[in-house]
Amino acid sequence: MEDQASNVPVTKPTVLLVDDEESILNSLRRLLRSQPYEILLADSGAKALEILKERPVDLVMTDARMPNMDGATLLAEIRRLYPSTLRILLTGYADVDMMTKAINEGQLYRYLSKPWNDEELVQALRQALAHQHSESERQRLEALNREQNQQLKTLNATLEKRVVSRTSELQQTADMLDLAYDELKRSYVTSTEVFSLIANLRLPKAKQTNRQIIELIRVYSRLNFLDESTDRDLTMAAALYNIGKLSWTDNMMVTPADMLHHTELDLYRAYPKQSESLLMTLDPMKDAARIILHHQERWDGSGFPDHLKGEAIPFGSRLLKLAVDFIELQRGLILERQMNSDEALVYIRKYAGKLYDPDMVEAFIKACAEYLEDVTLSDPTVKVATTRELAAGMILARNLNADNGMLLLNAGKVLSGPLIEKLIAFEAMEGARYSVFVKIPEEEADPTAPKPILG
């Protein structure tokens, strides 16, 4: 089997697992046997070095604590002898000295804790090998570009004498450079998804957003037939839109935007520009950087950094704002109260024409319904009502929670008059305003009768 783009034979990545406990090695081998890797095992650091001497290995994952040669020492030796081999440390000990040695001397790709989470471990290996492949491709393409540029210089030296005979050849070379550049941009998409993990490491898992925004953007692109180049730029922008937040304090990273202290607002408004500045030096990311720069602009011109209005805001920035706000509203990063997916979409629909492009909102809601199973707002039979617009016989389309998160009623509950009165009283006591997602029973749905439900 060969890679059609490069005519290079495709081989399975080789992964070497090192642990002095046979049971651990067997567990790892069973976990990874369904993965497209060639698995090698070593029960000591010395054995691992013997294997590396005999054959190339793409990734080494080693236990931290082993007799004779610990994991940090082994990784440092591998880094010295085989610098292109990725290095992961598997440790069950909170040993600061060991981790410092592994990071400084072994320059490990990352470390995982024992006992490991199967899904996290498999994902870590997949990301590490994808990163290695992307870096290898980048180096290969850069070398190809240098070689072709040198050929162009040689050609230009004699161009006047050879202009007629070389016109066709020059066109072919230019086409090859375009293809190489497109391939390089594709490699950058993979790299940016890996780099987005850097921003996520600053956030608790419940506050992480990048992966969900990437996936939502891809669903929208597929449903709306966006071209490959636009999809790539949007994916890179979604992966790194918040890289400019890395200079923030930990507290500011998790504080809702509307709760920030006035002394922090300037730093908040500067993050799109900071993100763009970090990425503009990378030529394949210039279009993605421009999308990031303007993703906090608002349709009515009240956004930042440049107060662009309407269609003056780039299309990609308008789409990225929809995706970012939809996910961040559910993470509690915009308002103090975390919304569910439908409540976030009600918010977006409410501010269409003010914060968001009104012509994109409904297509975006369809994309959300495709991406998330719990979105009910795209169902034409589902309506959102206030408590005073409820009527007996209506059925809850999704759980109703109080503002403090307490579950009030389960989805599927048929509302009665006394129950509605209790909801109104509890809402008044709490000082809240509930949005209730309901369905009207088909036998009672008269299209000619007035409907007291808000659409």
Cα(54)–Cα(47) distance, integer angstroms: 11
* Distance, CA of 345 to chain centre: 20
Q: How confident is the model at residue 191 (pLDDT cuts 50, 70, 90)?
A: low
Evaluated on CA atoms 135, 141, 147, 152, the torsion sign reads negative
Work out whether strand 400-401 and strand 436-439 pair parallel, antiparallel, or are unpaired.
unpaired
Residue 445: per-residue pLDDT = 47
Residue 441: per-residue pLDDT = 67
**Least confident stretch, 6-10, 276-280, 293-297:** 6-10
- 10 Å CB burial of residue 309 (0-12, 13-18, 19+) is middle
Our CA dihedral for 349, 353, 356, 360, rounded to 10 degrees, sits at 70
Higher pLDDT, 237 or 11: 237
* Distance, CA of 415 to chain centre: 40
Residue 5: per-residue pLDDT = 46
Residue 161: per-residue pLDDT = 62
- What residues have CB less than 8 Å from 167, skipping those under 6 apart? none
Which two three-digit tokens encode residue 60? 């080494």
Residue 222: per-residue pLDDT = 93
Does position 218 have pLDDT exceeding 70, yes or no? yes
Residue 453: per-residue pLDDT = 36
Best CA proximity match to 16, nearest among 85, 93, 66 = 85
Task: Enumerate helices (H) and strands (E) in the chain, giving the number of each.
Answer: 15, 12
What's the pLDDT tens digit per position in 235-269?
989 988 998 888 899 899 999 999 999 889 999 99
Best CA proximity match to 393, nearest among 409, 417, 366, 421 = 417
Residue position matching structure tokens 């030529």: 283
What's the pLDDT tens digit per position in 125-176?
999 888 888 888 888 898 888 888 888 777 777 666 665 555 666 566 556 6
**Least confident stretch, 180-189, 202-211, 356-365:** 180-189
Q: How confident is the model at residue 187 (pLDDT cuts 50, 70, 90)?
A: low
Q: How confident is the model at residue 29 (pLDDT cuts 50, 70, 90)?
A: very high
**Least confident stretch, 48-57, 212-221, 388-397:** 388-397
> Do the Cβ atoms of 253 and 202 come closer than 8 Å?
yes
Q: How confident is the model at residue 310 (pLDDT cuts 50, 70, 90)?
A: very high
Long-range contact set of residues 442-446: C-beta below 8 Å, sequence gap at least 24 = 444/393, 445/381
Does position 99 have pLDDT exceeding 50, yes or no? yes
Q: How confident is the model at residue 399 (pLDDT cuts 50, 70, 90)?
A: confident
**Least confident stretch, 17-26, 61-70, 187-196, 345-354:** 187-196
Cα(30)–Cα(25) distance, integer angstroms: 9
β-strand partners of 32: none
Reported pTM:
0.51
Does position 294 have pLDDT exceeding 50, yes or no? yes
100 in the Ramachandran plot: left (φ > 0), alpha (ψ -120 to 50) or beta?
alpha
Does position 47 have pLDDT exceeding 80, yes or no? yes
Residue 53: per-residue pLDDT = 94
Average pLDDT, integer, range 283-295: 91
Which two three-digit tokens encode residue 319? 């789409």
Residue 451: per-residue pLDDT = 42
Residue 36: per-residue pLDDT = 92
Cα(343)–Cα(387) distance, integer angstroms: 15
Residue 356: per-residue pLDDT = 98
Residue 55: per-residue pLDDT = 93
Residue 65: per-residue pLDDT = 87
> Do the Cβ atoms of 213 and 324 come closer than 8 Å?
yes
User: What does the DSSP 8-state code read for residue 355?
Assistant: T
| Cα diameter, the chain | 95
Best CA proximity match to 112, nearest among 125, 131, 126 = 125
Average pLDDT, integer, range 300-307: 96
Residue 387: per-residue pLDDT = 87
**Cis omega (within 30 of 0) on the bond before 67?**
no
Instruction: Indicate the SS3 state at residue 437.
Output: strand
How many Cβ atoms sit within 10 Å of the Cβ of residue 376?
A: 21
Amino acid at position 129, single letter: L
Residue 97: per-residue pLDDT = 62
Does position 26 have pLDDT exceeding 60, yes or no? yes
What's the pLDDT tens digit per position in 400-455?
877 666 777 887 888 888 888 888 888 888 777 888 888 876 655 445 444 443 33
- Alpha-carbon separation of residue 440 from 349, 407, 446, 452 (angstroms): 22, 22, 10, 11
